[in-house]
Structure 1
Amino acid sequence: MAAPDKPRRPEALDRRELLAAGLSGLALAGIASTAGAQSGARAPDAPRSGGTSVAAHRVEVPMPHGGVTAGHPLAAMAGTRMLMQGGSAADAVVAAMAVMNVVEPWASSAGGNGFATCLDRKAGKVHSLAFTGGAPRLLDPQVDPKALDHGPRALTVPGAFGGWIALARRFGRLPLATLLEPAIGYARDGHPLDPSIALFIGRAQKTISLYPTSAALFLPDGQPPAPRSIFRNPDLARTFQALADAETAALKGGADRDRALQAAYDYFYTGPIAREFARFSTETGGWLRLDDLKAYRPRWSDPVSTHYRGLDVYSSPLTSRTGLELCEQLNLVEGFDLAALPADGPQLAHLLIEAIKVAKADVYRYASDPRFAQTPVEGLLSKRFAAERRKLIDPARAGLYPEGGNAAAFDQAAALERARPRFAARGDDRTRGGDTTSLSAVDADGNAIAVTTTIGGGFGTFLVMGNTGILFNNGLRLGSTAPYDGHPNKVAPGKVALLGNGPTILLDKGRLHLVFGSPGGETIGQTQFQFLVNIVDRGMPIQAAIEAPRFALDADPNFYRPGAAVTVQAEGRFPDPVLQGLAAMGHRIEKVGPYAIGSVQGISVAPSGARMGGADPRRMGYAVGY
């Protein structure tokens, strides 16, 4: 069992506690000396960064005509403004993502990566969009992994803006200029900087200060900005305005809406913004070139799916690992009567923990960019494979972190079983943390979209790209890529690394039941799994399901290696008998903050048609409906 709670240092306070306490009495100057890590136990997204007490809670938000739930109130409001102007769910999420770039810069960017899961209600079909850029073609696969943590060699090709345009072209109605208007205003005129964001900037001061373009934005006068100070990003405002102007000029020249949106896309990926990205990368020793940007395309595909307790579950396909994790986890626990287990006992948590171990071992063995290696997706999603792997779960005892199963044997399209990778790393093979944000929207027509977007670890590459005001994703870091030679997810030129992003939609006999997602790096699949069990098996309303205490498994050194030492990080609100029971079963338990793991944003739809939005108090999440 974990030792009794110790007093927290200021930099370890929970995001929610920061909002409730208002950072009164906390001095950022004292934080800077301990700052610098974007990963590890004290990363902004790490469970151990949680605090010890929280006062506030969210309420469910009715959405009779539609609404948005997002990781920041201004983003949720911006998206809902689009709905109120006649826009679609796609318009809402694009506007909200653009605002998140401004107000949550450590986790969101037009230069990031991500996935969207989209319900086209009229067609009755769920689509997946991957807006994930790969490694630059000049990347050296033998690079020291530390160079991929931050700086000019850490970046992947920016995918997010291409995703915004793809969503707007396929499912949107409003002009890009309208969608970007709220973000342009907040970036140009400023917004009160959330205290938790100010804290994260302070903690990252040492690394930010390495890069002049970043320091100029995040460390004015050499110091982190104060909580609630007016924060501006004028370069980003100019970048977004230039993209809007490119669309407007095309419309004035006679282009239709689709071609005008393509003009904005071209301005970013082949025009002046692309040239600035390539110039800055070259001058700072990076590998990104104009050809990498020109070659990028967002990708529409079918989601991965499973059937659970009478519901159809749809989530993100490769190169998301989380869609596979979530579906396999559900398949594994479908063999247990979770609803019959007492909520105040350890048995329910134990079964979920063991299912997470098995699913992670299987997914981490195989998952990679399908252009570079074959992944037995059908096998990993197979109910027969889950039944075989379920045999590893002892209902009474914690198991070791297992070796991945032979999913290829359950996949008709898969080749012979892949050879085992050699687990020999060059030096450090400890997984780096990841930081993300998620938002969901439903419009008046019943279309629904969940998006999870990321810039990798907190502040991504830490490198603002020239005069654009944009941070890129450090998606080449260990964790997103495998540290072991011979593994299919080993970093390589052009390869898209794995993301944890898994925005998810549930349908009940073809009707929307739930749309949701979560940030949290390695904890995303675990968070979404527990949330779904709360909704489906425990029958909880959406906000109660979001706020219920959660746990997250941490593997040392990583989830790629069989036999890794697994610690169960449990939010401090779990009753002591539950934690004591888990410890008696053989689990290694570490208490973390009471609201420290994940941040689910979601919208549920009752059989009556009533839509209710939920937002997670673990961050700045907020739902807005109309």
Structure 2
Amino acid sequence: MQDQGLARRELIAAGLAGAAVALPPVALAQSGARAPDAPRSAPAAVRAHRVEVPMPHGGVAAGHPLAAMAGTRMLLQGGSAADAAVAAMAVMNVVEPWASSAAGNGFATCLDRKAGTVHSLAFTGGAPGLFDPAVDPAELDSGHKAVTVPGAFGGWIALARRFGRLPLSRLLEPAIGYARDGHPLDASIAMFIRRQQAVLARYPTSAAIFLPGGQPPAPRALFRNLPLARTLQGLADAEASALQAGADRDKALMAAHAHFYTGPVAQEMTRFSQANGGWLRMADMAAYAPLWEAPVSTGYRGLDVYCSPLTSRTGLELCEQLNIVEGWDLSSIAAGDPQLAHCLIEAIKVAKADIYRHAGDPRIVTVPVDMLLSKAFAAKRRAIIDLARAIAFPRGADIARAGDPSLLALADDRSRGGDTTSLSVVDADGNAIAVTTTVGGGFGTSVVMGDTGLLCNNGLRIGSTAPYDGHPNRAAPGKRALLGNGPVIVLDKGRLKLVCGTPGGETIGQTQFQFLVNVIDRGMPIQEAIEAPRFALQADPSFYKAGAAISVQMESRFAPAITQGLSAMGHRLEMVSPFAIGSIQGVLVDGSGARMGGSDPRRMGYAVGY
């Protein structure tokens, strides 16, 4: 007689798949082949390789386990989501240096639960005032001229001032310890250092940290960054000195800000830049300020989706993609039908064309944001999509604007990629923050700025900026380049539904788009939605140019019926590794209010809740 007991592993698999499981009327087998831990009781496959992490009081999903734990430590000490985010970002600077730095750039999307409002914080520095637009573009990939004004630390202070509770010294304590005493270097970071070895070796300050003894550190070797530890300790000490002198919390935080932007850090960066032919100066540092702005947003299937405004291109891109596919009933398309992927691919093409044509720093150029976000505009753009065939990469929409350049004869300059990291936080009060930070391309400029231990963003490179004269995103002194960073918050009738973000450079908006469709249209639980196979469009020479050759990089876990169907529709496919695109970190809230964290196995991300 067949044993009707339901094995523990089947229960786990069913939970990961988000399936409703009816327990059998008989008790679970306690011994034999059907016992919960018997090898034969394991399911043939599971839909997710990591369990979702319950966060009844709060938690952090971040791009590295030590960062997630550092943020959760702040929550356990009574800190807010902002405190946890700052602590986690500081640790990411130490443990994932190829993608994160206090001297980098980024965006945060923040839910103030009590006020019921969502805010966006841009901590993105622009080109130095001495920047020469005639520079050889190769010098903007790495080196002293590639430096943009450091923005991230200003963002840390802005978050702590507006939404934080704990002193900066406590927020920086985990990062200082890991930088001073060391931590086991993740194998993937060791690989990235080895890949970048030739460039890092050009700069003695970089080689001293990343190539000790002239060689890349081995995986899991104890890795230290003593100059960074001293810099972070100096910032904590500046706050402590101000508090001891009678300053309140806000003024003490601003003392740390001054230490970075007008004091010893700025002075050392300026000295080093000037001595090596760079353009960064004290005036650039002193003039910098992070910006609190209203996020861009759209309604999708009755939910409110909030993302980063310009100078993040991803907020506009994500909203337009959602607006386009809202005209189709995606939930009615079977998971194995290539039509679903086709619809998403074509929406990405159209949105990329529009955003790359029109987006730029809104302080300097006029960008038709309201038009790009409108449902009517999306309907017109949806009409150019053929549901049966892949279209060529289109020209961006014609939107009247003074001084709009002709984009029909653009040069064939190729974009350079970017690297980022992301984290998502919820706290006991229901506040939520998603942050995506970057140093631009891997290791940013690859130049550690003097004795600071800090790498700067190389955000002036082609891709973040347009190489075409007259384009709204052409680099210029003081102008902020576009970032792909676009952390997301989704509300359901004013209540938190989802907070998420991902790294991935050009793939960020594409990854978040597919993830949202998985959650909203396909009803997946968070970990399954994160681990579902993804694709990413690549343009040759770039998304700036109409008619660019589009290839669709597809994770190899896609079913053959899907890839064959897409090929038959005219898509040019390139199969990549099974877990290769993006790294979502997020928290999903269900109808009961239960909060579940998820983290992507594609990198070394981890979620921690309590």
The normalised TM-score by structure 2 is 0.92
Query: Match of 2:243, SS?
Result: helix
Q: What is the match of residue 601 of structure 2? A: 617
2-side partners of 1:553 and 1:128: how far apart? 27
Kept in 1: contact 2:48–2:527 (CA 8 A): no
CA deviations over 1:366-392 (Å, ceiling 9, x no partner): 000011110000000000000000011
Kept in 1: contact 2:583–2:601 (CA 8 A): yes
Match of 2:239 among 232, 237, 247: 247
Match of 1:342 among 321, 331, 334: 334
2-side partners of 1:234 and 1:429: how far apart? 39
Match of 1:404 among 379, 390, 396: 396
Runs of 4+ in 1 over 2 A off after TM superposition: 54-57, 415-425
CA deviations over 1:569-595 (Å, ceiling 9, x no partner): 000000111000000000000000000
Q: What is the match of residue 420 of structure 1? A: 406
Where in structure 2 are there 5+ consecutive unaligned residues?
A: 1-45
Kept in 1: contact 2:99–2:443 (CA 8 A): yes
Q: What is the match of residue 392 of structure 1? A: 384
CA deviation after TM superposition for structure 1 residue 59, in Å = 1.3
2-side partners of 1:434 and 1:214: how far apart? 19
Would you say how many aligned residue pairs link Structure 1 and Structure 2?
565
1-side partners of 2:407 and 2:286: how far apart? 34
CA deviation after TM superposition for structure 1 residue 203, in Å = 0.9
Letter in 1 for 2:314: T
Kept in 2: contact 1:422–1:487 (CA 8 A): no
Pair 1:420–1:281, CA change in 2 (3 A): same
2-side partners of 1:321 and 1:420: how far apart? 21
1-side partners of 2:277 and 2:372: how far apart? 40
1-side partners of 2:402 and 2:204: how far apart? 51
Where in structure 1 are there 5+ consecutive unaligned residues?
A: 1-53, 409-414
Q: What is the match of residue 570 of structure 2? A: 586
Q: What is the match of residue 561 of structure 1? A: 545
1:267-278 to 2 correspondences below 5 Å = 267-278=259-270
CA deviation after TM superposition for structure 1 residue 416, in Å = 5.1
Q: What is the match of residue 178 of structure 2? A: 186
Letter in 2 for 1:206: A
Kept in 1: contact 2:405–2:471 (CA 8 A): no
CA deviation after TM superposition for structure 1 residue 338, in Å = 0.2
Query: Match of 2:533, SS?
Result: coil
**1:195 matches 2:164:** no
Query: Match of 2:107, SS?
Result: strand
Letter in 1 for 2:493: K
Letter in 2 for 1:493: P
Q: What is the match of residue 13 of structure 1? A: none
Match of 2:451 among 467, 481, 499: 467
CA deviations over 1:305-326 (Å, ceiling 9, x no partner): 0000000000000000000000
Letter in 2 for 1:122: K
CA deviations over 1:59-98 (Å, ceiling 9, x no partner): 1000000000000000000000000000000000000000
Q: What is the match of residue 284 of structure 1? A: 276
Letter in 1 for 2:241: A
Letter in 2 for 1:244: A
Q: What is the match of residue 8 of structure 2? A: none
CA deviation after TM superposition for structure 1 residue 136, in Å = 0.3
Letter in 1 for 2:598: G
Letter in 2 for 1:373: V
1:243-322 to 2 correspondences below 5 Å = 243-322=235-314
Pair 1:55–1:122, CA change in 2 (3 A): closer
Higher RCO (Cα < 8 Å, 6 or more apart)? 1
1:125-136 to 2 correspondences below 5 Å = 125-136=117-128
The normalised TM-score by structure 1 is 0.89
Kept in 2: contact 1:422–1:486 (CA 8 A): no
CA deviation after TM superposition for structure 1 residue 424, in Å = 4.1
Query: Match of 2:144, SS?
Result: coil
Percentage identity across paired residues of the two chains: 75
Q: What is the match of residue 503 of structure 1? A: 487
CA deviations over 1:431-471 (Å, ceiling 9, x no partner): 00100000000000000000000000000000000000000
**1:537 matches 2:526:** no
Match of 1:519 among 489, 498, 503: 503
Kept in 2: contact 1:362–1:407 (CA 8 A): no
Match of 1:231 among 219, 223, 226: 223
Q: What is the match of residue 579 of structure 2? A: 595
Letter in 2 for 1:476: L
Letter in 2 for 1:154: A
Kept in 2: contact 1:62–1:612 (CA 8 A): yes
CA deviation after TM superposition for structure 1 residue 422, in Å = 6.4
Pair 1:240–1:61, CA change in 2 (3 A): same
Kept in 1: contact 2:393–2:548 (CA 8 A): yes
CA deviation after TM superposition for structure 1 residue 423, in Å = 3.9
2-side partners of 1:336 and 1:376: how far apart? 25
CA deviations over 1:485-529 (Å, ceiling 9, x no partner): 111101111100000000000000000000000000000000000
Letter in 2 for 1:229: A
Q: CA RMSD in A?
A: 1.2
Match of 1:454 among 409, 432, 438: 438
Match of 1:548 among 508, 511, 532: 532
Match of 1:120 among 112, 117, 125: 112
2-side partners of 1:55 and 1:300: how far apart? 39
2-side partners of 1:368 and 1:404: how far apart? 14
Kept in 2: contact 1:523–1:597 (CA 8 A): yes
Larger radius of gyration: 2
Q: What is the match of residue 54 of structure 2? A: 62
**1:366 matches 2:358:** yes
Query: Match of 2:434, SS?
Result: strand
1:150-161 to 2 correspondences below 5 Å = 150-161=142-153
Q: What is the match of residue 367 of structure 2? A: 375
Kept in 2: contact 1:398–1:585 (CA 8 A): yes
Letter in 1 for 2:450: G
Letter in 2 for 1:287: W
Letter in 2 for 1:343: A
2-side partners of 1:419 and 1:78: how far apart? 48
Q: What is the match of residue 484 of structure 1? A: 468
